[in-house]
Structure 1
Amino acid sequence: MSDNDQHQFKDRYMLRLPDGMRDRIKLAAEANGRSMNSEIVAVLEEKFPAPITADDDLMLACAAAVTFSPSRVGARLKDDYFNLMRYIRDVHGVQDPISLVNGIQRDSSQLTGITIGTMYEWLHSVFDPWVVENPPDDP
Structure 2
Amino acid sequence: MDFVSSQMSLVCELLSSSITRQIINIRLVESKERAEASERSTREFLAMINHELRTPLNGLLGSVELLADTGLSDGQKDLHHNLSQSGQLLRSIINDLLDFSKIDAGMLELIESDFTWKSLESTAKHF
TM over 0.5: no
TM-score normalized with structure 1 length: 0.27
Higher helix share: 2
Greater gyration radius? 2
